[in-house]
Amino acid sequence: MPHSHKQMISFFLTTKCDLRCVYCYNCKERLELEEKTLPLEIAKAGIDEFFTNNKSRHIRFYGPGEPTQEFELMSQIADYARQKGGKEVTTELQTNGAFNSKVRGWLLDNLNIVWVSFDGPPDIQNQQRPFPNNKPSAPIIEENILWLHRNRGNRDLMVGARVTMTSLNIHRQIEMVDYFCSLGIRYIWTDPEFPAVEKNPVCDDEKKYEQYEFNMELYVDNFIKAYKYARLKNIFYGSFLTCNFDGETKIHCRACTPVPHLTPDGYVSACDLVVFGANKNHMNCFIYGKWNKQKKQFEYYPKRLKAMQDRSVDNISHCKDCFAKLHCGGYCLGEVVNETGMLDGQKPIVCRAIRTLLKEIGPLEKFDYLHP
């Protein structure tokens, strides 16, 4: 089942975060806003509506800050989902992994999938993802992951790594496989760094365009080596660029359904890159609904919904004749809009990388755990 088929309701719980990652994609946006947390009332209404309209019973906790910073709220939402959806409910979290022992005890008994944003061996992790006082984050994350694995027993719980690839770790991918393996991690997804989401598309911001440096060819070369190495060790090593390689699809991801991602400021987003609704910027095409406080219901924006639903490789001109189209789906809408300002824009560097990867390693067998 390719990534495009992943259906779930996501809760963008809070802006609070206890780390200060150097590349944080929405850092400026988050700092400019007052601290905000998703109201429980909206989360509950979102569950009611999603469980009525979609067969999926998968719920997911995500940014814009660190979800475990609002641990009580996360636990209330999970309880409510189980009350409404029963035993079919499955749970997923993307976390920075720097949580305390109370939180990890709850995670152990309440979650099925935990993706830890973790950038590799301690020297890289501590440089890319430090605490605000520059204190290293690797020790507490290692301890938490080892503890979860030690205490997992027969629980249906997977703890995997979601790695942001930058110039620091791009050439250390085999070493990364060994390092994560030593912590008991068997599922690793790697994501090439992309320019942060700010007020304007990257194409209109010359300075930002020039500042962005990512050697995609080097990433792909080293990814293929690490992928083959990981396979020998029976470890899953994936790339965001290969997230649709295990099936066929004409769309890239859930943003084309779309499925709800509830924002802390009371909007419905289609994409992980758009974590607030009130901003008037180029990413607003992903905000397709809003919570109406008075009526206590969601209201939707049909034109925006239709634009996302219409996005398919059949009607994107550069995709139509691409041999990789059914294993790509036209690539990530969020990144494309952020960089080109258009839903059907193109990232040619990524296209070359996807085609190389498909020739070298694809198509792939069914993934056990889809990209977050």
* Footprint on this chain of ligand SF4 (rule: CB under 6 A): 253-255, 271-273, 313, 318-319, 322, 324-325, 328, 330-334, 351, 354-355
Helix axis angle for 216-232 and 348-361, nearest 10°, is: 30
Q: Hey, what are 54's tokens?
A: 């979609």
CB of 79 or CB of 314, closer to ligand SF4: 314
CB of 57 or CB of 254, closer to ligand SF4: 254
**Of the two residues 83 and 315, which places its CB atom closer to ligand SF4 in the complex?**
315
Residue 109 C-beta: closest distance to ligand SF4, Å: 28
Return the exposure string of 158-169: e unless at least 16 CB atoms fall within 10 Å of the residue's CB, then b: bbbbbbbbbebb
Shortest distance, position 352 Cβ to ligand SF4, whole Å: 8
Q: How do 297-300 and 287-292 pair as beta strands?
A: antiparallel
Closest residue by Cα to residue 238 from 249, 228, 227, 246: 227
Decide: helix, strand or coil at residue 4. Answer: helix
Nearer to ligand SF4, 137 or 279 (CB): 279
Closest approach of Cβ 219 to ligand SF4, in Å?
15
Residue the block writes with tokens 């699809």: 249
Nearest to 126 by CA among 116, 135, 115: 135
Q: How near is the Cβ of 121 to ligand SF4 at its closest, in Å?
A: 26
* C-alpha closest to that of 68 among 2, 3, 19: 19
> What gap in Å lies between CA 196 and CA 105, rounded to an integer?
33
Between the alpha carbon of residue 137 and those of residues 18, 30, 37, 291, 322, the distances in Å are 10, 21, 24, 36, 42
Residue placing its CB nearer to ligand SF4 in the complex, 58 or 104:
58
CB of 316 to ligand SF4, least distance (A): 6
CB of 149 to ligand SF4, least distance (A): 27
- Residue with Cβ nearer ligand SF4 (165 or 333): 333
Nearest-approach distance from CB 261 to ligand SF4, in angstroms: 8
Helix (H), strand (E) at residue 48 = helix 40-53
Nearer CB in complex with ligand SF4: 137/269:
269
Distance CA 207, CA 70 (A): 36
Nearest alpha-carbon partner for 13 in 313, 24, 5, 30: 30
Quote the least distance from Cβ 147 to ligand SF4, whole Å.
Answer: 29
Please, which residue, 103 or 275, has the CB nearer to ligand SF4? 275
